[in-house]
């Protein structure tokens, strides 16, 4: 199985979980009870509760932020160049080992 690691900055914990290709960063987090990822809108890009930071070495493996995602990211706290909505990041086999930082709950 492929793995993704979520870092929760408040406590510095690393949550390594398995993922299935085709699932999103958000769905994988919610299914594995990763703290700080709520996915309140169910992946409809209406809430921003799946805001994550994607490390530089992984960013170019995803399509650029489109207009709709950019609008949602404009309303989240602490938007950075590496900000993404986890619901918009589909996981693939070539992303095995990816590390993302959960943006919510940051100290």
Q: Which residues contact 37 (CB under 8 A, 6 or more apart)?
A: 6, 26, 29, 30, 49, 50, 52, 86, 102, 104
The answer to whether position 53 is within a domain reads yes
58-87: pLDDT as tens digits: 999 999 999 999 999 999 989 999 999 999
Cite the beta strand spans of the chain per DSSP E: 2-8, 13-19, 51-54, 83-85, 98-102
> Residue 106: is its pLDDT beyond 70?
no
The answer to whether position 10 is within a domain reads yes
How much is the pLDDT for 33? 96
How much is the pLDDT for 105? 52
How much is the pLDDT for 107? 38
29-39: pLDDT as tens digits: 999 999 999 99
The answer to whether position 107 is within a domain reads no
The answer to whether position 88 is within a domain reads yes
The answer to whether position 80 is within a domain reads yes
How much is the pLDDT for 28? 98
How much is the pLDDT for 104? 76
> Considering its fold, how many domains does the chain have in total?
1
Q: How does the average pLDDT of the chain come out, rounded?
A: 93
How much is the pLDDT for 87? 97
Instruction: Give the model's confidence band at 1: pLDDT under 50 very low, under 70 low, under 90 confident, else very high.
Output: confident
- Domain extent at residue 83: 2-102
């Amino acid at each position: 199985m492929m793995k993704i690691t979520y870092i929760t900055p408040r406590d510095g914990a690393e949550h390594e979980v398995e993922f299935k290709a085709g699932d999103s960063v958000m769905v994988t987090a919610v299914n594995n009870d990763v703290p700080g990822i709520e996915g309140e809108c169910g992946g409809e890009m209406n809430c921003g509760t799946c805001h994550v930071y994607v490390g530089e070495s992984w960013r170019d493996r995803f399509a650029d932020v489109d207009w709709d995602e950019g609008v949602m990211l404009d309303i989240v706290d602490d938007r950075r160049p590496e900000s993404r909505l986890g619901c918009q990041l589909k996981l693939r086999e070539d992303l095995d080992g990816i590390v993302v930082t959960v943006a919510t709950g940051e100290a």
